[in-house]
């Protein structure tokens, strides 16, 4: 798994790629929780994620809950087919805000 | 027509007087029979007889239950002595009661038995006394006493005594009848309450359901029972069951039975591990005093989909396991009954035995059955139960249990104890299981196998192997992705739960393609050498509760068609089998 963090206006974008599995999910968790603590609205780009398992999903859920508590927007962007399928199976696809592009996420001040 | 002993009053030869006397006796007799208030009737009787015989006063004394004292229950005349209590041998009235014969004392000053205390207290002067005992067939109840005849020469005559005796007999009979009626009413009230209790108790037993491979029978020795059984199906198809026996019989045992049965049903819906469930029930029962009563119980959970039976035995008679081949095996308890002490039960609950029924059957019964008489004063015994199970093996389960119970119930001997039996018959579920297996014919093609340490960094290798196998089996991209996820999650469970994070355990993953006329399926078996996993703990979490963790098992069950632990070839370790029809 790789990740990349960059600023986009007021937003913070974290882009993951590769496999988020049992081996890498603790690293993903740290990255996500650190990002939330920076206090910016968050865009999590999952376009490059080839595989995500339940532990990866758990990292998303935990950081999402933390962002919500801090009143921060938390949006999943460009979710790959594989990742979307896992979110559906976990019945979390309606819990997260999921958009197709970064522009869509930043437009309308959502 | 008059002998001195039975003479009516002196002027009885007057026909009108005789008529009047008989009328008085008849009236009093009628009032005694019809009264709802015995004390009032007795008071009237004393009043009438006093006036009729023309005495200054009259009193009715009753013996107390112990026979030690006499108390005035009713009196008439100038002196009020109601409530006055004497020793049961005190005074002329006491003598009359003790000797159970009537007496005329024409001058009390010449009778040493006379008790002066009353006169001293009341200022009344007693000259003569007429006294008749109240008794029925030697059962002494008290006496009626009249004081100081007014008319004539002021002396009581034999006829007066005859009349008083007749009235006393009639009153005594009325008192005995009233007491018996009171006892009968009380007995009937108790019987009605017992019947109501029994009805409630029967409603605690589950309704027979022929569709279920579990059935039970309960025949109380008395109206209410200290035995119980219960079974109910959980949402996932597994059946929770129990059979228990409360020490003692009667109402107190029935109440503890109701409590225990309710606890099992209520807690059983949340705790599906029999050992932990029974430990919890034990805590609840121990928390309140049970006056030395305790409960023996076998509780278990049976899965018709696999034939697996898990049970815990709290001090109960050993249940019988009957193999499909007819062999018997007893399963003795090595844990104490419920309600004795929390300290005696291990922290992780009652010991649990895990059994594969494999088409066989399982019976739990109370000692009322094994120690019941079969007709010639012979106890049925455990061997008798086995013989009956063998004889009746063709009968449907419910019918089979009825016939076994009938051997004791219909023997003509009084039941010594409640008869209770519960059976689990795996034969029909086993047939269904093997039919289900036949729908996928056995052409098993081994696609691949891998053995890796239980290290997260090897999961990628497993995923790649599974992905390749899916491709060989002809799965589309979505199915391949799903199956890879399910197997990955199952391997994570092995690493995290079976090995507790130890990266040096052995983990094997083997993939088969079972195919035939009815289609094909992918079969993946994941094996480890860790301590056996309790399948009950491997359950999907509640998705409404969105929290990290615990999601993997849900994903596996969501994706795969079947997820089962199968018996590993050696003692230790686990094999989880996942299948997916293609």
Using CA atoms, how far residue B252 sits from B300, B419, B532, in Å, is: 26, 18, 42
Predicted local distance difference test score (pLDDT) of residue B378: 81
Distance from CA of A99 to the nearest CA of B (A): 21
pLDDT tens-place string over residues B6-40: 444 444 455 677 788 888 888 887 887 777 778 88
From CA B326, how far away is CA B524, in angstroms rounded? 34
pLDDT-based confidence at B418, cuts 50/70/90?
Answer: confident
Q: Which residues of A touch B481 (CB under 8 A)?
A: 81-82, 85
B489 and chain A: CB distance < 8 Å anywhere? yes
Residue B50 neighbours by CB under 8 Å, 6+ apart: B57, B58, B76, B77, B146
Nearest to B546 among A22, A82, A92 (CB): A92
- Is B489 close to A53, i.e. CB distance below 8 A? yes
ipTM for the predicted complex:
0.87
Nearest to A22 among B459, B484, B547 (CB): B459
Using CA atoms, how far residue B26 sits from B34, B50, B82, B132, B142, in Å, is: 12, 16, 26, 18, 22
- Is A61 close to B482, i.e. CB distance below 8 A? no
Q: Which residue has the tokens 């109960």?
A: B316
pLDDT tens-place string over residues B520-535: 899 999 999 988 776 6
Distance from CA of A57 to the nearest CA of B (A): 8
pLDDT tens-place string over residues B346-396: 888 899 998 999 899 999 999 888 888 887 778 888 888 888 999 898 899
B182 and chain A: CB distance < 8 Å anywhere? no
Contact (CB, 8 A) for B576 and B565: yes
- Is B551 close to A23, i.e. CB distance below 8 A? no
Q: Where are the alpha helices (DSSP H) in B288-372?
A: 367-370
Distance from CA of B565 to the nearest CA of A (A): 21
From CA B289, how far away is CA B294, in angstroms rounded? 10
Q: Which residues of A touch B557 (CB under 8 A)?
A: none
Q: Where are the alpha helices (DSSP H) in A18-94?
A: 25-37, 54-69, 81-89
pLDDT-based confidence at B100, cuts 50/70/90?
Answer: very high
Residues 78-137 on B with a CB inside 8 Å of A are: none
**CB atoms < 10 A from the CB of B187, how many?**
10
B226 and chain A: CB distance < 8 Å anywhere? no
pLDDT tens-place string over residues B148-198: 998 778 889 988 899 899 888 888 888 888 888 888 888 888 888 888 888
Q: Which residue has the tokens 């093996």?
A: B393
**Torsional sign, CA B347, B351, B357, B361:** negative
Mutate to test the interface with B, among A36, A49, A55, A95 (most CBs of B within 10 A): A55
Distance from CA of A9 to the nearest CA of B (A): 30
Nearest to B558 among A19, A89, A92 (CB): A89
Lowest mean pLDDT among A57-61, B409-413, B515-519: B515-519
Contact (CB, 8 A) for B580 and B531: no
Strand order in the sheet with B419-425: B214-219, B419-425, B361-365, B320-322, B328-330
Q: Which residue of B has its CA nearest to A26?
A: B456
**CB atoms < 10 A from the CB of A9, how many?**
10
Distance from CA of A15 to the nearest CA of B (A): 21
Distance from CA of A40 to the nearest CA of B (A): 22
């Amino acid at each position: 798994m790789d990740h990349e963090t960059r600023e986009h206006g007021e937003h913070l974008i974290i882009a993951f790629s590769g496999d988020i599995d049992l081996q890498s999910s603790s690293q993903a968790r740290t990255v996500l929780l650190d990002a939330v603590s920076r206090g910016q609205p968050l865009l999590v780009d999952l376009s490059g994620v080839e595989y995500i398992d339940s532990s990866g999903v758990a990292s998303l859920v935990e950081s999402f809950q933390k962002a919500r508590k801090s009143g921060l927007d938390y949006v999943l962007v460009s979710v790959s087919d594989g990742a979307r399928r896992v979110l559906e199976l976990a019945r979390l696809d309606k819990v997260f805000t999921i958009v197709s592009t970064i522009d869509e996420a930043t437009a309308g001040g959502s | 027509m008059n002998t001195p002993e039975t003479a009516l009053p002196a002027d009885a030869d007057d026909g009108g007087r005789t008529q009047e006397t008989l009328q008085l006796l008849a009236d009093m007799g009628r009032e005694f029979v019809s009264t709802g208030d015995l004390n009032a009737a007795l008071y009237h009787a004393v009043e009438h007889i006093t006036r009729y015989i023309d005495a200054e006063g009259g009193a009715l004394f009753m013996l107390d239950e112990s026979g030690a004292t006499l108390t005035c229950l009713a009196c008439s005349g100038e002196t009020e002595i109601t409530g006055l209590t004497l020793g049961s041998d005190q005074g002329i009235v006491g003598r009359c009661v003790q000797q159970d014969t009537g007496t005329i004392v024409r001058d009390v000053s010449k009778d040493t038995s006379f008790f002066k205390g009353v006169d001293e207290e009341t200022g009344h002067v007693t000259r003569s006394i007429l006294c008749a005992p109240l008794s029925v067939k030697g059962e002494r109840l008290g006496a009626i006493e009249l004081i100081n005849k007014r008319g004539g020469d002021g002396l009581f005559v034999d006829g007066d005594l005859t009349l008083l005796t007749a009235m006393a007999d009639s009153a005594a009979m009325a008192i005995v009848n009233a007491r018996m009626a009171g006892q009968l009413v009380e007995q009937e009230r108790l019987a009605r309450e017992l019947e109501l209790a029994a009805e409630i108790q029967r409603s605690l037993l589950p309704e027979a359901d022929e569709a279920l491979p579990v059935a039970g029978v309960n025949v109380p020795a008395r109206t209410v029972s200290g035995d119980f059984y219960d079974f109910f199906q959980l949402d996932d198809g597994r059946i929770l069951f129990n059979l228990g026996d409360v020490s003692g019989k009667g109402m107190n045992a029935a109440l503890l039975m109701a409590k225990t049965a309710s606890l099992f049903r209520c807690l059983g819906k949340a705790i599906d591990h029999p050992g932990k469930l029974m430990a919890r029930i034990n805590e609840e029962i121990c928390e309140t005093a049970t006056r030395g009563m305790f409960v023996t119980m076998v509780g278990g959970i049976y899965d018709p989909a696999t034939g697996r039976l898990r049970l815990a035995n709290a001090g109960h008679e050993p249940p019988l396991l009957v193999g499909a081949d007819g062999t018997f095996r007893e399963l003795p308890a090595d844990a104490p009954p419920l309600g004795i002490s929390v300290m005696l039960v291990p922290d992780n609950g009652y010991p649990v035995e895990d059994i594969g029924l494999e088409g066989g059957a399982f019976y739990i019964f109370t000692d009322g059955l094994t120690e019941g008489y079969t007709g010639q004063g012979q106890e049925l015994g455990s061997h008798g139960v086995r013989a009956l199970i063998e004889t009746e093996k063709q009968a449907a389960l419910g019918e089979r249990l009825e016939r076994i119970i009938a051997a004791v119930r219909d023997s003509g001997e009084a039941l010594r104890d409640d008869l209770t039996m519960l059976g689990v018959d795996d034969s029909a579920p086993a047939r269904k299981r093997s039919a289900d297996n036949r729908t996928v014919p056995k052409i098993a093609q081994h696609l691949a196998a891998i053995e890796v340490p239980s290290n997260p960094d090897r999961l990628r290798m497993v995923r790649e192997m599974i992905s390749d196998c899916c491709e060989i089996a002809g799965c589309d991209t979505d199915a391949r992705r799903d199956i890879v996820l399910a197997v990955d999650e199952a391997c994570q469970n092995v690493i995290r739960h079976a090995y507790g994070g130890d990266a040096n355990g052995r983990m094997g993953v083997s993939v088969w393609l079972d195919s035939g006329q009815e289609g094909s399926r992918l079969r993946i078996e994941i094996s480890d050498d860790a301590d056996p996993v309790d399948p009950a703990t491997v359950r999907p979490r509640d998705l409404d509760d969105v929290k990290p963790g615990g999601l993997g098992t849900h994903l596996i069950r969501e994706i795969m068609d079947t997820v089962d632990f199968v018996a590993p070839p050696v003692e230790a370790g686990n094999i989880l089998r996942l299948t997916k029809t293609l």
